[in-house]
Structure 1
Amino acid sequence: MSDVIYNKNTPVLFLIFNRPDTTAKVFEEIRKAKPQRLYLSADGPRTPEEESVCEQTRKISLDINWDCEVFTNFSTHNKGCKVAMSEGITWFFQQEEEGIILEDDCLPSESFFGFCSSLLAHYRHDRRITHIGGSNLQCGQVRGNASYYFSNLTHVWGWAGWRRVWKTYDVDLSSFPTFKEQEYINNCPSHYPFKEGWLEALEKTYEGKIDTWDYQYAYANLVNNGLSVIPNSNLISNIGFGTQATHTFDADHIYSAVLNEEITSIKHPQFIIPHVQADIFTQEKESYVAPVKKKTIFSRSWKSFKSTIRKN
């Protein structure tokens, strides 16, 4: 019997839009978990033709058959990914100190909810820990001898967090020009080997050329030296890759619809230190451009990083 038990008093935010097929699958798992408080946030349709499918998606999420308080934040017009998602999460954390966040294409395993509620309580007052991720992108590799490891990356395919962290979020990336000018990324061992890709993505987000919310969240955790929890079992399957997706179009991507696993107990790591090699592995698979050959990426990038520190 599992000792990873979901505390149903831990609220859930469900972010939806125009995908009734994936929404129905994710909502079925929320229904099984039976949270006592459910927050629903939805962007509005982009065209008159999209109104019916957006309405259908909302009806699916409102089909509550358990004892539950429901709160809605449904937009009458389209705000776009950046505004709708960031405002939805802000709305959630204005009401709650902590909670679980799921998008309409992030399918959770049953134990995802218990994993999140347990670790939200465990690290509630530990400001070193800023994010709890549900997805594992290590392709079967186990990092350490605990149920999870620590990371400097911020995976948002099903996650949990705190108001204390979201307060640091800046959707406009106001400090990015200083971050770039002073080359702070050179001091980040998990990101330094991929600095060109990160700086390009952050700059395009800062300039409004990428309509997204999650680079800003990853940036907030990075510049505040926050650590993410990453489970050694994959608890989230992204079922949204494909032509209907906002950003993830390649249905054949290595991280598309990775099979879910379950976790039956939680063993905490002995040391609260980020696993740099795991972070580099993930970013290689995500196709960031690295300045070194894949064969020796960890050793060479680490040597380069130390050399840069000495120069500075």
Structure 2
Amino acid sequence: MNAPILITVYDRLESLNKCIKSIIRCPESLSSTLYIASDAPYKPEDTEKVSMIRDYIRSIKGFQKVVLLDSKVNIGSYNNLHSNMKYILNIHDNVIFIEDDNVVNDNFLSFMNGSLAAYKNDGKIKFVCSYLFPDCAPKSKHDIFLWSGFSPWGFATWRESWKEINFDNDSLYEKNHSIKNALKLWFIDPSSLGVLMEDIQGKVKATDVRICYNLILLSGYSVFPKRCVSVNRGHDGNGEHKSNNDIYIKQKLSAINPIIQSNLTVEKRIAIYMFFHRLNLKNIYHLIKFLIIDVKARVLAR
């Protein structure tokens, strides 16, 4: 039985349409239930856009079932994801999540469903991710590998794995704070430490960084393909975070159909690729700033 698919959306109709069209090209879509969580307007001027989104969702064909989860009040992207993940995982054993600005290849559902079935009893595997950052593909003879990182741009998980993740940033960071854990996070992805500090300060709600931090604490892993089966097309300046980055806009979507195998290995080289790909002066600054703040806090606590 195929896992249900969840997409969260606000007001980007064109992006959602491209996402849906790409998923429909997967043969498994016809036997899959699609949930689309539509958040309510944040501003009055967004009402028409949200209404058009919901009308479009009601017209979608190509799936076994399409379920519109329409919020009556605006809850924001973080709560739109988490409340509906909880809802779906109360009904189903697993779920596949894809952002509304992601595009997938024809083998996306095959890879995600196959991995969910193959690794459901492997306690160290918590997530299946479909996206890999540009220029970070490991030179491996296998199509898939394990890594202690995480990508939100297409992922799947199981009910029990999701329950293991502590998303409360106060208890997550305060009870488990250490320079060792922060350095581990920085070496997984140098850009994440700056987001971590903003998350601790309450400036953002960073699901991906919280998951990465949990994976460190749990000694857990995510399954990744060595080439992307999904890409993010939302870095055009129109998304929630208004980013505009040609690296992601121009990233090619591979046609890979990853062969799922047992006895997966931890790809240590990916850590090196990721580290140098994401390393820059800004991320070094965040590391130094974090260490200074930590030292000051320890001195004042004496």
TM-score, normalising length: structure 2 = 0.83
Question: Counterpart in 2 of 1:286?
Answer: 278
The structure with more helix, counted as a fraction of residues: 2
1:237·1:257 contact (CA, 8 Å) conserved in 2?
no
Q: Distance in 1 between matches of 2:63 and 2:245?
A: 37
Residue identity over aligned pairs, in percent, reads 20
In 1, the alpha carbon distance for the partners of 2:190 and 2:16 equals 35
Alpha-carbon distance change, 119 to 34 in structure 1, aligned in 2, over 3 angstroms: same
Q: Structure 2: where are the runs of 5+ without partners?
A: 285-302
Q: Per the alignment, do residues 105 and 153 of structure 1 end up closer, same or farther by CA in structure 2, a change over 3 Å counting?
A: same
Counterpart CA distance in 2 for 1:241 and 1:209 is 21
Give the TM-score normalised by the residue count of structure 1. Answer: 0.80
| CA-CA distance at 1:72 after TM superposition | 2.8
Moved more, 125-134 or 81-90: 81-90
Letter of the 1:121 counterpart: A
Residue type matched to 2:13 in 1? Answer: P
Q: 2:248 matched to which residue of 1?
A: 255
Which region of structure 1 is more displaced relative to structure 2, 114-123 or 76-85?
76-85
The residue aligned with 2:9 is 16
Runs in 1 of length 4+ with deviation above 6 angstroms? none
Map Cα deviations across residues 163-221 of structure 1 (whole Å, 9 max, x no partner).
111102333222212322x3341673xx3547885444223213321144332222222
Instruction: Return the match for 1:217 from 211, 215, 218.
Output: 211
Gaps of 5+ in 1: 1-6, 292-312
Q: Could you list the per-position Cα deviations for residues 75-105 of structure 1 after superposition, in whole angstroms to 9, with x for gaps in the alignment?
A: 1222222222222222221221112111100
Q: Number of paired residues?
A: 280
Alignment partners' CA distance in 2, 1:128 and 1:69: 32
Checking the alignment, whether the CA contact within 8 Å between 1:235 and 1:261 is kept in structure 2 is yes
Residue 65 (structure 2) aligns with? 69
Offset from partner CA, 1:59-80 (integer Å, 9 cap, x none)? 2223233462333321122222
* 2:250 maps to 1:239: no
Report the Cα offset of residue 12 of structure 1. 0.8
Structure 2: which amino acid aligns with 1:137? Answer: F
- State the distance in 1 between where 2:39 and 2:182 align: 37
Cα pair distance change 1:248/1:287, threshold 3 Å? farther
Q: Structure 1 178/23 Cα, relative in aligned 2: closer, same or farther at 3 Å?
A: same
Name the CA distance, whole Å, in 1 between partners of 2:163 and 2:51.
31
State the one-letter code of the partner of 1:210.
V
Are 1:81 and 1:211, in contact at CA under 8 Å, matched by a contact in 2?
no
- The CA distance in 1 between the partners of 2:99 and 2:63, in whole Å, is 22
Change (3 A) 1:194 1:98: closer
Among 191, 211, 230, the residue aligned to 2:224: 230
1:105 counterpart = 2:116: no
CA distance in 2 between counterparts of 1:176 and 1:283 reads: 23
Separation in 2, partners of 1:127, 1:119 = 14
8 Å CA contact retained: 2:130, 2:153:
yes
Q: Call closer, same or farther: CA 1:195–1:58 in 2, change over 3 Å.
A: closer
Question: Does the CA-based 8 Å contact 1:131-1:161 persist in structure 2?
Answer: yes
2-structure distance, mates of 1:96, 1:176: 30
